[in-house]
């Protein structure tokens, strides 16, 4: 290929990637690096520029939640200790000020999402924000407050919205996370409890969960690193240590400030 043509193609690809990137993308990178104060500032700027976008406050709620997870080492205890999993560990002590900000962000995001969906029921951005709101609420209820029945309701809501969104937008790869997380995490429960969960309308198919998590890990825009972390957990529980090590090594290289990724990789 002519060098000039190749250079032009490369420049176009770089320009396209730059145009695709937003402050929301930047904020998620900061979150994965545990730079939560920076993420809040980045999202505040985005919300100032785009006050109608529900992904702004929804993502800010994510920053509050994951800062709490980091402070209390929730992910380590929930996912990496022994054979424990979602709906299992002892209650922790949340920061009430953080909870207030988290809930205020969720309320704002839900209002904006509802408004957008009223005018355009298939709006992918508003659907993704609605999925994220229910998913974050379920994580807070389950992992911090240990209110499992309330959390399960939000889990099912998040998955139902994800299925609706994917019926209209099969390439909304971040939405697959809601389906994958529900199926995989609940599949880790005992057989009798899985039966009860299915009777309640929950989904507990391990392979379906892993398949959907892989789609987000490979093609998701915001949630690919989180999906990759869950896949690493799945590898460890199935004794696929080499595969888990590969995923954690990628996360460490991509987000060097995240101590969770470094610590878990060092254990391997």
- 17 against 194, higher pLDDT: 194
Q: What does the pLDDT average to over 156-163? A: 96
CA distance 111 to 202: 26
Q: Can you give the pLDDT at residue 79?
A: 72
pLDDT in tens, 253-264: 999 999 999 999
Q: Can you give the pLDDT at residue 189?
A: 87
CA distance 169 to 218: 17
- 104 against 190, higher pLDDT: 104
Structural domains of the chain sorted by starting position, each given as residue range(s) with its CATH number in brackets: 22-267 (1.25.40.10)
Q: Can you give the pLDDT at residue 161?
A: 97
- Among 7-16, 54-63, 76-85, 208-217, name the one with the lowest average pLDDT: 7-16
Q: Can you give the pLDDT at residue 162?
A: 97
| List of residues 6+ apart from 221 with CB closer than 8 A | 25, 173, 174
Query: What band does 4 get if pLDDT is binned at 50, 70 and 90?
Result: very low
- 215 against 16, higher pLDDT: 215
Cα R_g (the chain), whole angstroms: 19
Phi/psi for 178 (5° steps) reads: -60, -40
pTM exceeds cut of 0.85: yes
Reply yes or no on whether the pLDDT at 45 is more than 70.
Answer: yes
The secondary structure of 92-154 as a DSSP string is ----HHHHHHHHHHHHHHHHHHHHHHHH-TT-HHHHHHHHHHHHHHHHIIIIIS--HHHHHHH
Q: Can you give the pLDDT at residue 188?
A: 86
Query: What band does 236 get if pLDDT is binned at 50, 70 and 90?
Result: very high
Reply yes or no on whether the pLDDT at 11 is more than 80.
Answer: no
Q: Exposed (0-12), middle (13-18) or buried (19+): which is 59, by Cβ within 10 Å?
A: buried
**What is the separation, in whole angstroms, between the first and last Cα of the chain?**
44
CA distance 173 to 122: 15
Q: Can you give the pLDDT at residue 92?
A: 67
CA distance 221 to 53: 17
- 202 against 232, higher pLDDT: 232
Share of the chain above pLDDT 70, in %: 87
Name the 3-class secondary structure at 169. Answer: coil
Reply yes or no on whether the pLDDT at 242 is more than 70.
Answer: yes
Q: Can you give the pLDDT at residue 74?
A: 84
104 CB-side CA count, 13 A: 7
């Amino acid at each position: 290929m002519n060098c000039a043509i190749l250079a032009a193609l490369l420049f176009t690809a770089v320009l396209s990637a730059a145009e695709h990137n937003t402050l929301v993308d930047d904020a998620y990178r900061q979150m994965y690096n545990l730079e939560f104060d920076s993420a809040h500032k980045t999202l505040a700027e985005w919300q100032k520029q785009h006050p109608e976008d529900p992904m702004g406050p929804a993502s800010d709620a994510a920053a509050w939640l994951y800062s709490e997870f980091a402070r209390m080492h929730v992910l380590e205890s929930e996912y990496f200790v022994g054979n424990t999993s979602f709906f299992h560990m002892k209650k922790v002590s949340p920061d009430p000020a953080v909870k207030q900000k988290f809930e205020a962000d969720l309320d704002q995001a839900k209002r904006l999402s509802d408004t957008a969906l009223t005018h355009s029921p298939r709006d992918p951005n508003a659907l993704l924000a609605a999925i994220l709101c229910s998913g974050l609420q379920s994580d807070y209820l389950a992992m911090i407050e240990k209110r499992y029945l309330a959390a399960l309701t939000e889990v099912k809501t998040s998955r139902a919205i994800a299925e609706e969104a994917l019926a209209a937008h099969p390439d909304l790869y971040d939405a697959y996370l809601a389906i994958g997380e529900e199926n995989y995490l609940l599949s880790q429960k005992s057989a009798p409890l899985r039966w009860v969960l299915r009777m309640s309308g929950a989904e507990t198919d391990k392979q379906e969960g892993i398949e959907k998590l892989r789609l987000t890990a490979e093609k998701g825009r915001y949630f690919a690193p989180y999906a990759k972390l869950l896949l690493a957990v799945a590898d460890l529980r199935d004794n696929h240590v080499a595969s888990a090590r590969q995923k954690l090594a990628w996360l460490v290289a991509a987000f060097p400030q995240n101590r969770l990724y470094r610590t878990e990789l060092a254990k391997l």
